[in-house]
Amino acid sequence: MNQMKRGKQGMAIARLNGITLSYEVEGDGELVVLVMGTGSPGRVWSLHQVPALLDAGYRVATFDNRGIPPTDECVHGMTITDLVADTAALIEHLGAPARVVGTSLGARVTQELALARPDLVTHAVAMAAHARLDAAALVLNQGKKALYDEKIVLPPAYHAAVYALQSLSPATLRDPLAARDWLEMFEISGSATGPGTRAQLDLSDFKDRRAAYRAITVPTLVIGFADDTTIPCYLSREVADAIPAARYEEIPDTGHLGYLERPEAVNRVMLDFLAS
């Protein structure tokens, strides 16, 4: 069912895969679909990656994963299969096939989509890719869920400091001006988690997928962020090692938000691969 109406601020709203999904498409040319990570709206891509892709002549689609309003929050739960099917439905709605780029949870969606629906994906880019989580990441995720479940909201300044340490490279934090700007932004955003994001957090409990990824045939670029403490880059290298058609690039001086922290370096390797 592809009934569509125009939403606010240029967003489109469509009924796809049984949910209401919000998305935006810009530009002309071959389609690139960008898949965001846990708790973040699709518009985050608009800061750096969308302009670079538009300049390169692509038609670019960003969207809010289920769990992120105005897409349905699906507070009673979701599976990675649901998110993969949502992305597949959007690609079919916009005109398959597409180049697909994802980060963190979005990288998992991209990997699983390339495995399940290779007919829809010409190139896959997985930033902060992972086929499993290590012990520290699992405990961190459990802590995030506990904060929500116990209705604990961290003081904004403390949240900003913790999030900066989790998400940015020490190289960034050594620069007083850059650190100040990032901390101010994180403090303004706050630590409150919506019910849809809480549902997304449950997706981090999954079995090792390395063996399954050996069946991926789609050309894949795996990007690891060298100073990522959330998804350490050795986990990204594991994904690249598992996928026969994968290439691995590691971006120095980047944490988990590497696509925002060093966008020029990330965009350069992404665009080079998408043009191949």
What Å distances lie between residue 113 and 13, 123, 216, CA to CA?
Answer: 22, 11, 9
* 63 φ/ψ angles, rounded to the nearest 5 degrees: -155, 165
Mean pLDDT of 24-30: 96
Q: How confident is the model at residue 6 (pLDDT cuts 50, 70, 90)?
A: very low
The H or E element containing residue 88 is helix 80-94
d(CA 247, CA 260): 22
Confidence of residue 8 (pLDDT cuts 50, 70, 90): very low
Which of 153, 107, 161, 113 shows the shortest CA–CA distance to 129?
Answer: 107
> Has residue 9 got a pLDDT over 50?
no
The yes-or-no verdict on residue 4 having pLDDT over 80 is: no
Query: Any catalytic annotation for residue 228?
Result: yes
Q: How confident is the model over 33-53, as pLDDT tens digits? A: 999 999 999 999 999 999 999
Which pLDDT score is estimated for 11? Answer: 84
Contacts of 53 (CB under 8 A, 6+ apart): 27, 32, 60, 271, 274
**Token pair 């399940």 in the structure block, residue:** 116
Q: Does residue 256 carry a catalytic annotation? A: yes
Q: Are 36 and 42 in contact (CB under 8 A)?
A: yes
Hey, where are the domains in the chain? 4-134+207-274, 137-189
What tokens were used for 177? Answer: 């001006």
Interval 219-247: pLDDT, tens: 999 999 999 999 999 999 999 999 998 99
Per-residue model confidence (pLDDT) at position 245 = 86
**Catalytic-labelled residue, pool 22, 40, 82, 104:** 104
How far is Cα 227 from Cα 232, in angstroms, rounded to an integer? 7
Tell me, what's the pLDDT at 10? 59
Evaluate whether 135 touches 111 at the Cβ level (below 8 Å): no
Pairing of strands 4-6, 12-16: antiparallel
Q: Is the pLDDT of residue 1 over 50?
A: no
pLDDT single digits (tens) 187-222:
998 888 899 999 999 999 999 999 999 999 999 999
CATH hierarchy code of domain 4-134+207-274: 3.40.50.1820
Would residue 104 show up in a list of annotated catalytic residues for this protein? yes
Q: Determine the residue type at 215.
A: A
DSSP E strands in 3-120: the ranges are 4-6, 12-16, 19-26, 31-35, 59-63, 98-103
Q: Residue 88 and residue 47: Cα distance in Å, rounded?
A: 24
pLDDT tens for 55-112 read 999 999 999 999 999 999 999 999 999 999 999 999 999 998 999 999 999 999 999 9
* Mean local confidence (pLDDT), 105-133: 98
> If residue 121 lies in a helix (H) or strand (E), which one and from where to where?
strand 121-127
Q: Is the pLDDT of residue 161 over 70?
A: yes
φ/ψ (deg, to 5) at 182: -65, -45
State the pLDDT at residue 2.
39
